[in-house]
Amino acid sequence: MGTPCDSRRSIDPGRRGLRALVTRPHAEAAELAAALAARGIAAIIEPLIEIHYRDQPAPDLAGVQAVLCTSANGVRALARLTDERAVPLFAIGEASAARARDAGFARVESAGGSLEDLAVLARERLRPEVGPLLQVAGSVVAGDLAGALRGDGFAVERAVLYEARPAAGISGETVRALAAGIVEFALFFSPRTALTFARLAARAGIAEAMGSVTAISISAAADAALAPLCFRERHIAGRPDQQHLLAALDRVLAERPRA
């Protein structure tokens, strides 16, 4: 459901080509930009999180029952450090699972897109007595997957293999595009990215420009982080993955008048 602001500025979507702000890291932005292009929307790529992989000894996978990955970045980080591909890998959602298959992991399971889904999948498919689990994580961890599974008797080790650093600012080109009102949509894939955008938009003096932008977020938590900004509308994906975020975008497009 949209969350309009009373002070929003109305725009005519038919007066120009549509543009969407893509806030994902570069590794994911290209695929999303292609999906937008198929809808006639030009992507303005502005990564608000930069991924820095750690060069360190590979985690010891001997005896590990399964690896748990909560993001595609975790899959990439693990694949960089080890040639081991036989260990079962449980991914938080289909995008991470697809990345694991592309990287050559032989046994990949996909959860429904949330930490809770991944915990449920692990409980259903794994047994505490069979061996420990390894959670591949970034330096900032959302939720407590390891703690939840430890409560069920699993031994869970956490390997921090990458760091997700927030951007220091929004580029001048993107600031000018937002200030000019030529950006129709802004897409957000994590609460941290949304929070970073809200902070940087205020710092850049373009908070009021959000009145011409429709925000579409991957989750309610990401949407909540945008509350300080008065967007034209705010929408939330039905499930926390790119497919459902694009489906939410499609619904918005279908409801808009065409020129």
Q: What residues contact 219, with CB distance under 8 A and at least 6 apart?
A: 114, 190, 191, 236, 237, 240
Element counts in the chain: helices (H) and strands (E): 9, 11
- Indicate the SS3 state at residue 204: helix
The CATH number of the domain where 69 resides is what?
A: 3.40.50.10090
Q: Return d(Cα 259, Cα 241) in angstroms, integer.
A: 30
CA 178 to chain centre: 22
Residue 203 C-beta-side C-alpha neighbours within 13 Å: 12
The residue segments making up the domain with residue 235 are 18-48+168-255
pTM exceeding the 0.75 threshold for the entire prediction: yes
Tell me whether residue 9 is in a domain. Answer: no
Do 136 and 25 touch, CB atoms closer than 8 A?
no
**Listed residues 141, 165, 189: the one ending a domain:** 165
Do 146 and 158 touch, CB atoms closer than 8 A?
yes
Please indicate, yes or no, whether residues 102 and 174 belong to a single structural domain of this protein. Answer: no
In the prediction, which pLDDT does 17 show? 85
Tell me whether residue 119 is in a domain. Answer: yes
> Does the pLDDT of residue 198 top 80, yes or no?
yes
In the prediction, which pLDDT does 26 show? 87
**Listed residues 165, 190, 210: the one ending a domain:** 165
Q: Tell me what percent of the residues of the chain surpass a pLDDT of 70.
A: 93
> Does the pLDDT of residue 256 top 90, yes or no?
no
Tell me whether residue 11 is in a domain. Answer: no
Tell me whether residue 135 is in a domain. Answer: yes
In the prediction, which pLDDT does 14 show? 40
Alpha helices, H only, the chain: 26-37, 72-81, 94-102, 115-125, 145-150, 172-179, 191-204, 220-225, 242-255
Tell me whether residue 123 is in a domain. Answer: yes
How many other CB atoms are found less than 10 A from the CB of residue 37?
11
How many other CB atoms are found less than 10 A from the CB of residue 163?
16
Please indicate, yes or no, whether residues 29 and 101 belong to a single structural domain of this protein. Answer: no
Q: What residues contact 89, with CB distance under 8 A and at least 6 apart?
A: 66, 67, 69, 75, 97, 100, 105, 107, 108, 109
Please indicate, yes or no, whether residues 40 and 108 belong to a single structural domain of this protein. Answer: no
- Count the domains in the chain: 2
Across the chain, mean pLDDT equals 91
> Does the pLDDT of residue 12 top 50, yes or no?
no
> Does the pLDDT of residue 78 top 90, yes or no?
yes
Q: Give 23-76 pLDDT, tens digit per residue.
A: 999 888 999 999 999 999 999 999 999 999 998 889 999 999 999 999 999 999
> Does the pLDDT of residue 10 top 50, yes or no?
no
Q: Give 83-120 pLDDT, tens digit per residue.
A: 999 999 999 999 899 999 999 999 999 998 889 999 99
